[in-house]
Amino acid sequence: MKAPGALRSSEWFLIVYFSYVALISPAFSLQSQIAWRPFAVALLVAALMAAFAYGEANEHRDAFSIARDWLAVSLVLAAYREMDWFSMLAHDHHLELRWIEWDRSILYSGGLQRAIEALGPLLAGYLELCYLLVYAVGPFAVAVLYVERRRDRVNQLLLVYLFGTLLSYALFPYFPSDPPRVVFGGSDAPHILTPIRQFNLWIVNGYGIHSSVFPSAHVSSAFSAAWALLLALPSKRRYGWGMLVYAVSVSVATIYGRYHYAADVAAGFSISLLAGGLGILRTLAAPRPLPPHGLP
């Protein structure tokens, strides 16, 4: 009998995450017709991980090894959509009524909205573009390692990125909330409507989830990708610093565009720091170079 392949640490993290969602789901009394789904997803994810690891160990080594990189990234979308099963939780908006006070002080007293719109559609359009591109942050970060011929560090990067992104998702059920553009309508909306904003609104209104906005996974994932690139490519920090500038832009975009509250942004950034700390600890604990094929 052929030996099974070892799972990577990022894959173990995904299995733990989806198992966690399945285990907590009964406490939130999901609708009977979907109550079984988190358990099915957790089993499917574990089976996929095991199958791909087996394939790398026993069949087409290089093909399965590369496929495992992208499977891990693609499962972020599954984790995001899964959170929509918690949308039926009561939203009494008591959190949003507290958060909006901080937002309005930033937008108006702090002059954020006025400063952005002083440049017309240029800066507003840039911020909306940054918000749109968050969905590609994970694949982009992995692709950077391919371009720089450092595929051996994909697992290191993915663990930090996944930790920062999925930890935000894991908290959604505990903070049922709606975005400011929904709760408060157009009262604080941007005065500039660009085509990119229209496209973003079409995406979030038609394909977004409605369980929670706290913490902001847009923010946590972008900053986590920045920390991951800085750690994975210490000799080419331009990628990490560039991603860090982009993450700051995303943070501003979420508040200005009324996709998130400033409280969501602060929480998302804090979670990314935990992800970055995890990456630093792993780097210090395992300074040895990774093997060229198998990734721990």
**Where do the domains of the chain lie?**
9-285
pLDDT for 238 equals 97
Query: What's the one-letter identity of residue 5?
Result: G
Query: What's the one-letter identity of residue 109?
Result: S
pLDDT for 185 equals 85
Query: What's the one-letter identity of residue 228?
Result: A
How far CA 244 is from CA of 13, 151, 158, 159, in Å, comes to 24, 21, 17, 18
- Of 93, 4, 77, the C-alpha closest to 45 is 77
Q: Mean pLDDT per segment of 10 residues, for the chain of length 296 residues?
A: 74 98 95 94 97 92 95 96 92 93 96 95 97 97 97 96 98 96 91 96 92 97 98 96 98 98 98 97 71 48
**Sign of the CA dihedral running 262, 266, 267, 268:** positive
The single residue listed with the structure tokens 């406490």 is 27
- pLDDT tens for 211-248 read 999 999 999 999 999 999 999 999 999 999 999 999 99
pLDDT for 287 equals 55
pLDDT for 4 equals 60
Residue 288 CB neighbour total at 10 angstroms: 6
Are the beta carbons of 164 and 271 closer than 8 angstroms?
A: yes
- Of 239, 247, 288, the C-alpha closest to 265 is 247
d(CA 242, CA 226): 8
pLDDT for 288 equals 55
d(CA 22, CA 37): 8
Helix (H) or strand (E) holding 170: helix 154-171
d(CA 24, CA 28): 7
Radius of gyration (Cα) for the chain, nearest Å? 20
- pLDDT tens for 177-200 read 999 999 998 889 999 999 999 999
Q: How many residues does the chain have?
A: 296
- Of 93, 88, 39, the C-alpha closest to 214 is 93
d(CA 232, CA 230): 6
